[in-house]
Amino acid sequence: MTKRLLTALCCALLLTLPAWAADLVYLNTPLGAERLVAAKYKQQFFLVQPYVESQQNLAFCGPASIAAVLNSLDLPRPAVGTLQPYGFFTQDNIFTAGTQRIKSRDQIAKNGMTLAELAAYLNTLGVRASAYYADQMDLDWLRDLVRSALADPKHRIIVNYSRKPLGQAGEGHLSPLAAYDEASDSVLLLDVAKFKYPPVWISLADLLGAMNTTDTDSGKSRGVVFIGR
């Protein structure tokens, strides 16, 4: 391959990659681990991460995020037949008569969940959840919300964003946030698609941009669900 052709191929590849892709720092790298150690807002990583399980199918990022968050809070857990006498929230038992009136399991397995549906599920399952849309927030507002959520062990936060602007494979996705690093102004996302990506640090500016995209199922922007016990 000639030097000229190699240069042209490299330039073409760079043009196809979103500029934001370079800002992702995965936790399983030296920099990612160092950032977690240095971060001031990291308590929830140790509270939530032990309960994060990979989503059961390509559309179950919502159920996986819900189960992880609920198990990490001091809540009564539903009985699981095979685990008696212990209870546990799973990607199966979050589907109750109440939650399936919001959206059925079959519909979620096919189309996933919108931001509003995620909040409605959580409210039905015993916590207080509020949905905030990215097209109605700025970076300072998002930063304040993230700090507030991550500073309180009784709060949790799940984000709904598009993978495309971040240079990841896929489209709309849901996962919990678990840490915030002030020095890099970035958040640690516990990706529930564990078969695709490990936890990743994303700058708040990049996350806001990835959330400020249209969810074609709802016709609204993506955003944040703030959860209180």
pTM: 0.89
pLDDT tens digit sequence for 167-201 = 999 999 999 999 999 999 999 999 999 999 999 99
Domain boundaries, the chain: 20-228
Helices (H), the chain: 3-16, 30-38, 43-48, 61-72, 97-100, 105-111, 115-124, 139-151, 204-211
Q: What is the mean pLDDT of the chain?
A: 91
Catalytic sites, residue numbers: 61, 173, 191
Please provide the CATH number assigned to the domain covering 20-228.
3.90.70.30
Work out the pLDDT band at 55, boundaries 50, 70, 90. Answer: very high
Look at residue 165 in the predicted model and tell me its pLDDT: 95
Assess whether the previous peptide bond of 85 is cis (omega < 30° from 0).
Answer: yes
Look at residue 94 in the predicted model and tell me its pLDDT: 98
Work out the pLDDT band at 86, boundaries 50, 70, 90. Answer: very high
Q: Is the pLDDT of residue 103 over 70?
A: yes
Residue range 100-123: average pLDDT? 98
> Considering the chain, what percentage of its residues have pLDDT values greater than 70?
90
Residue range 206-224: average pLDDT? 97
Q: Is the pLDDT of residue 12 over 80?
A: no
User: Token digits for 81?
Assistant: 């037949």
Residues 6+ apart with CB under 8 A from 54: 64, 192, 193, 194, 195
pLDDT tens digit sequence for 13-47 = 333 334 334 489 999 999 999 999 999 999 999 99
Work out the pLDDT band at 61, boundaries 50, 70, 90. Answer: very high
Look at residue 164 in the predicted model and tell me its pLDDT: 95
Of residues 140, 155, 145, 138, the one with CA closest to residue 44: 155
Residues 6+ apart with CB under 8 A from 187: 146, 177, 179, 180, 181, 201, 202, 204, 207
Lowest mean pLDDT among 78-82, 107-111, 143-147: 78-82
